[in-house]
Chains A and B, each alone.
Chain A
Amino acid sequence: MTPISLPRPILLLAVVALALFPLAASTFYVQLGAKIMILAIFALSLDLLVGHSGMISFGHAAYFGVAAYALALISPKYEAANLWLTLPAAMGVSALAALIIGFFVVRTTGVYFIMVTLAFAQMLYAVFHDTKAGGGSDGIYIYVRPELALAGWKPLDLENPTQFYYLALIFLIVVYVFLNRVLQATFGRALAGIRLNEQRMRSIGFPVFAYKLGAFVLAGALAGLAGYLAACQFGFVNPDILAWQQSGIVLMMVILGGMGRLHGAVLGAFSYVVLQEALSAPPLVGAYAKHWQLALGGLIVLIVLSLPRGIGGLLDGTLRRKNRPGEIP
């Protein structure tokens, strides 16, 4: 297994480009950019499971949605909540949900795992849709975005689209760097081994269940971060955020972008949003804009059949040569 990574100079270039983007773009595109970065965080969190640990979760939207609902439920109705308090709380709720559900699902593998992760996510969807817990199918509005205030100091005003964009960018960088470190640390190496050969890992003494559960909870917490930011941006939460379609879409982002490569998850998120915008733009497709998912579905089928390693996999050839020596392959 070769966790092929982008060389440092390219990563720095990408960060600089992202940082400069709002200066040249209109508000619409700045908001779109923030949306892409939030989905990228969501995709990165799933890549930890799918690409690196070999755990194909089809219910990851559950942890994305639970954090969004947590924010919506904790937020005061017409005031700004405090991000420093509500963000950790929301991520904590996601992590807890992942811990409880993980306890049941991590004991399965393969197709069973795919099915039970979907089933439990659907259970949470049923909770929020059928009961009054989260406002039912009507959802909850978040009228005022949380504020990043600490004893009067407010570095970023999140109501401002450009400043919200920078918040998303900071979190994306933090998550990317964090996962990069995790993957090459002992925890990440153990997950890599589990993905390749679970039986042998047990045989040499690794408590595989604990590692997999740990990965599941970590992925859940990071999905919660993405869900929190998504709720901030959109200002509205309803059960669709936990729907199985959402789980399918983020899985698609990870697979099509290229699994096991962090930049692949980001590429996948970017490609998906661009595709969505392109396929549903009335000037391009006319009356069929409403049915853009038809083209999306067809495209997915085509890509699965023709590109075995996803869009990110197209870069593998060049990247392999540029990988730094001494990196653990």
Chain B
Amino acid sequence: MFYLIQLLNAVQYGLLLFLLSSGLTLIFGILGVINLAHGSFYMIGAYLAYWLAKLTGNFWLAIPLAIAIAFAIGLVLEIALIRRLYRRDHLYQVLLTFGLILVFEELRSIFFGDEVHGVATPKLLDFSIPLTDTLSYPVYRLFVTVVCLAIAALLYWTIYKTRIGMMIRAGNSNREMAASLGINVPLLFTGVFAAGMALTALAGAIAAPISSVFPGMGNQILIICFVVVVIGGIGSINGALIASLAIGFADTLGKVIAAEYSAIAVYLVMALILLWRPQGIGNQA
């Protein structure tokens, strides 16, 4: 039973990672931009959820508000800054988005301070399902798992089954051709970026009751996302899913076996993949 709980935790963490990493890998695969500020949007989503929930007293109101605000910030960011990076070397993309991380961290510090804040689990889901006489599992975590799965399915369906998705994939493989076919590539890219950021913020928002909000939360998870993308392969959603779940399990297993070394376990998995299949699980050689 104890292991069932760990299994559920692993899946929940893995799916949350998947949500985040698919955004990262799509933005890299489609827009060609490596965006370090990806983690910052996770943080923005979490802090917005914390603040708006306190402000309105209603967690369920806070979530869509947070998504909307994050989407707006994403729009502004893309139009003002990110679109100038598309044609530039990865080096400068890394540097500029690194600068953005610094800005976002300090803004967070100015507006919300540096303490850790808990976020109350919404009353509707604030109960546990009993598994045995002594053990039970929090329903909210199940909720997060389900939401992540639903969004993953939505993402998949959008990219592969809709016209917009086709346009996105076209814009990815050949910008000029897509443009000459009448697709407004700049507008599309703006939309993709803002949507990616909104998605990331959503992940942060719904995870907030579980993880609390704290300084550096975005950067911490960004690096894990990098590991997922490396293992899964850039641009591959399938790879991101497999890798996220693998990391979820490695991390949870690591915590059970030797808490001190759990963080290291994840990187060891990455090292092995680098030796065996450096292009990532989801990609062809």
Chain B 81-102 interface 0/1 with A at a Cβ cutoff of 8 Å (1 = within): 1001000001110111011111
B263, A126: Cβ atoms closer than 8 Å: yes
Q: Does A298 make an interface contact (CB < 8 A)? A: yes
A: residues with CB less than 8 A from B are 50, 56, 58, 104-105, 107-108, 110-112, 114-116, 118-120, 122-123, 126-127, 130-132, 244, 248, 251-252, 255-256, 259, 290-291, 293-294, 296-301, 304-305
B90, A123: Cβ atoms closer than 8 Å: no
- Which of A110, A112, A115, A305 touches B96 (beta carbons < 8 Å)? A305
- Which of A110, A119, A131, A300 touches B227 (beta carbons < 8 Å)? A119
Q: Does B28 make an interface contact (CB < 8 A)? A: yes
- Which of A111, A122, A256, A304 touches B34 (beta carbons < 8 Å)? A111
Q: For B270, what are the chain A residues with a Cβ–Cβ distance below 8 Å?
A: 116, 119
Q: Does B109 make an interface contact (CB < 8 A)? A: yes
Output the least CB separation between B128 and chain A (Å).
Answer: 29
Q: For A126, what are the chain B residues with a Cβ–Cβ distance below 8 Å?
A: 263-264, 267
Chain B 252-275 interface 0/1 with A at a Cβ cutoff of 8 Å (1 = within): 000000001111100100110011
Output the least CB separation between B33 and chain A (Å).
Answer: 10
Q: For A299, what are the chain B residues with a Cβ–Cβ distance below 8 Å?
A: 99
Complexed CA–CA distance, A115 and B274 (Å) = 12
Output the least CB separation between A135 and chain B (Å).
Answer: 14
Q: Which residue of A lies closest to B90 (CB)?
A: A111
Complexed CA–CA distance, A298 and B262 (Å) = 36
Q: For A114, what are the chain B residues with a Cβ–Cβ distance below 8 Å?
A: 34, 90, 94
Output the least CB separation between A154 and chain B (Å).
Answer: 42
- Which of B91, B103, B275 touches A301 (beta carbons < 8 Å)? B103
**Secondary structure class of chain A's binding surface, majority of residues:** helix
Complexed CA–CA distance, A128 and B212 (Å) = 24
Complexed CA–CA distance, A50 and B219 (Å) = 23
Output the least CB separation between A313 and chain B (Å).
Answer: 13
Output the least CB separation between A250 and chain B (Å).
Answer: 11
User: Besides A104-B271, A251-B94, A297-B100, 12 other CB < 8 A contacts?
Assistant: A56-B94, A104-B274, A119-B227, A122-B267, A130-B260, A252-B99, A296-B99, A297-B102, A297-B103, A297-B106, A300-B102, A301-B100
Known: A111-B90, A291-B110. A119 touches B223 (CB 8 A): yes
A293, B106: Cβ atoms closer than 8 Å: yes
Known: A115-B229, A131-B261. A300 touches B34 (CB 8 A): no
Q: For B230, what are the chain A residues with a Cβ–Cβ distance below 8 Å?
A: 108, 112, 115-116, 119
Complexed CA–CA distance, A116 and B263 (Å) = 15
Q: Which residue of A lies closest to B101 (CB)?
A: A297
- Which of B102, B226, B261, B267 touches A293 (beta carbons < 8 Å)? B102
Output the least CB separation between A209 and chain B (Å).
Answer: 12
Q: For A297, what are the chain B residues with a Cβ–Cβ distance below 8 Å?
A: 98-103, 106
Number of A-B residue pairs at CB separation under 8 A: 117
Q: Does B197 make an interface contact (CB < 8 A)? A: no
Q: For B267, what are the chain A residues with a Cβ–Cβ distance below 8 Å?
A: 119-120, 122-123, 126
Complexed CA–CA distance, A122 and B266 (Å) = 11
Q: For A298, what are the chain B residues with a Cβ–Cβ distance below 8 Å?
A: 99, 103
**Could you show 15 A-B contacts with beta carbons less than 8 Å apart?**
A104-B274, A104-B275, A112-B234, A115-B227, A119-B226, A122-B267, A126-B267, A130-B263, A244-B223, A255-B91, A294-B102, A296-B99, A297-B103, A300-B102, A301-B99
Complexed CA–CA distance, A295 and B125 (Å) = 42
B102, A56: Cβ atoms closer than 8 Å: no
B: residues with CB less than 8 A from A are 28, 34, 81, 84, 90-92, 94-96, 98-103, 105-107, 109-110, 219, 223, 226-227, 229-230, 234, 260-264, 267, 270-271, 274-275, 278
B96, A304: Cβ atoms closer than 8 Å: yes
A255, B92: Cβ atoms closer than 8 Å: yes
A304, B95: Cβ atoms closer than 8 Å: yes
Complexed CA–CA distance, A251 and B102 (Å) = 14
Output the least CB separation between B54 and chain A (Å).
Answer: 23
B94, A58: Cβ atoms closer than 8 Å: yes
Output the least CB separation between A298 and chain B (Å).
Answer: 6
Q: For B28, what are the chain A residues with a Cβ–Cβ distance below 8 Å?
A: 111
Q: Which residue of B lies closest to A58 (CB)?
A: B94
Closest 8 CB pairs of A and B: A297-B102, A300-B99, A294-B106, A123-B267, A126-B263, A297-B103, A115-B226, A297-B99
Q: Which residue of A lies closest to B271 (CB)?
A: A104
Q: For A118, what are the chain B residues with a Cβ–Cβ distance below 8 Å?
A: 223, 226
Q: For B264, what are the chain A residues with a Cβ–Cβ distance below 8 Å?
A: 123, 126-127, 130
Q: For B105, what are the chain A residues with a Cβ–Cβ distance below 8 Å?
A: 293
Q: For A304, what are the chain B residues with a Cβ–Cβ distance below 8 Å?
A: 92, 95-96, 99
Q: For A110, what are the chain B residues with a Cβ–Cβ distance below 8 Å?
A: 90
Output the least CB separation between B86 and chain A (Å).
Answer: 13
A291, B106: Cβ atoms closer than 8 Å: yes
Output the least CB separation between A280 and chain B (Å).
Answer: 12
Output the least CB separation between B55 and chain A (Å).
Answer: 24
Output the least CB separation between A278 and chain B (Å).
Answer: 16
Output the least CB separation between A274 and chain B (Å).
Answer: 17
Output the least CB separation between A198 and chain B (Å).
Answer: 15
Complexed CA–CA distance, A294 and B99 (Å) = 9
Complexed CA–CA distance, A43 and B226 (Å) = 24
A116, B229: Cβ atoms closer than 8 Å: no
Q: For A105, what are the chain B residues with a Cβ–Cβ distance below 8 Å?
A: 274
Complexed CA–CA distance, A299 and B99 (Å) = 8
Output the least CB separation between A323 and chain B (Å).
Answer: 24
A291, B90: Cβ atoms closer than 8 Å: no
Complexed CA–CA distance, A255 and B96 (Å) = 11
